[in-house]
């Protein structure tokens, strides 16, 4: 099933701000460790078209996701289509080692990807791990989930960000304004993270399409 992911991403800049945010928020915290693997053709043609194919391992489960081109509004609210399908976790090691061919992909994922890549072998090009802490919060009269990420990249660098996913029908602009006020009361700068984790990981690995 294809859905539209709408979210606000905030660059937390430092471990200090990351800890400050975690310590300031009230409510039950759920922390999950994720391993993320991204697949593309040898020419990085998916990335060149704005697409990403990810396999994520978390809590004993494996999920493959096709992410479409990202559309950013001028207000820092990012939207992109995505299709997710659960797969058998014991298949992932083979995909990492040998890559994927079209028949390996679930039907919904195969249909979602742009046509040229459907016939090409996809190999693992990027990987990183994320420790994600999720906390339900009220912003104005809406309940949202704060996803607070500590990401460790293959070059041994780390970064920190806050993601707030917005359900369809929620007033995105109002949530953004409430989020800015909330962070300001904590002394945390409000700055959009305009580059997703895939783009940051690609830069660190010096990977470019073409």
Query: DSSP of 87-118, one letter per residue?
Result: E-GGGHHHHHHH-B-GGGS-HHHHHHS-GGGG
Residue 173: its pLDDT value, please?
85
Question: Taking all residues of the chain, what is their mean pLDDT, rounded to a whole number?
Answer: 91
Mean pLDDT on 174-184 = 93
Mean pLDDT on 190-194 = 91
Terminal C-alpha separation, the chain = 30
Residue 141 has pLDDT above 60, yes or no: yes
Residue 117: its pLDDT value, please?
52
Residue with the bigger pLDDT between 66 and 121: it is 66
**Lowest mean pLDDT segment, chosen from 99-108, 164-173, 175-184:** 164-173
Residue 72: its pLDDT value, please?
63
142 near 15, Cβ under 8 Å?
Answer: no
| pLDDT tens digits for range 57-78 | 999 999 999 999 987 655 678 8
Which of 141-145, 147-151, 196-200 has maximum average pLDDT? 147-151
Which of 34-38, 104-108, 199-203 has maximum average pLDDT? 34-38
Residue 118 has pLDDT above 70, yes or no: no
| pLDDT tens digits for range 21-58 | 999 998 899 999 999 999 999 889 899 999 999 999 99
Classify domain 2-204 by CATH number: 2.40.320.10
How far from 160 is each of 26, 49, 132, 195, 196, CA to CA, in Å?
A: 19, 27, 10, 13, 12
How far, rounded to the nearest angstrom, does the alpha carbon of residue 63 sit from its chain's CA centroid? Answer: 13
Q: Per-domain residue ranges for the chain?
A: 2-204
∠ CA 103-104-105 to the nearest 5 degrees? 90
Residue 178: its pLDDT value, please?
94
């Amino acid at each position: 099933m294809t859905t539209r992911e709408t979210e606000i991403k905030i660059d937390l800049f430092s471990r200090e701000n990351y800890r400050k945010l975690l310590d300031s928020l009230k409510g039950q915290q759920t922390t999950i460790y994720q391993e993320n693997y991204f697949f593309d053709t040898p020419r990085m043609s998916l990335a060149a078209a704005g697409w990403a194919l990810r396999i994520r391992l978390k809590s004993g489960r494996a999920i493959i996701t096709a992410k479409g081109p990202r559309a950013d509004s001028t207000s820092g609210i990012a939207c992109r289509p995505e299709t997710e399908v659960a797969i058998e976790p014991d298949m992932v090691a083979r995909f990492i080692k040998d890559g994927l061919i079209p028949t390996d992909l679930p039907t919904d994922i195969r249909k979602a990807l742009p046509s040229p890549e459907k016939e090409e072998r996809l190999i693992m090009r990027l990987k990183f791990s994320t420790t994600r802490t999720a906390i339900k919060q009220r912003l104005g009269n809406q309940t949202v989930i704060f996803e607070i990420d500590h990401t460790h990249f293959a070059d041994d660098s780390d970064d920190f960000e806050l993601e707030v996913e917005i359900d369809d029908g929620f007033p995105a602009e109002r949530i953004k304004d409430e989020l800015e006020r909330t962070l300001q009361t904590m002394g945390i700068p409000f700055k959009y993270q305009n580059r997703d984790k895939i783009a940051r990981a690609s830069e660190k690995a010096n990977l470019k399409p073409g």
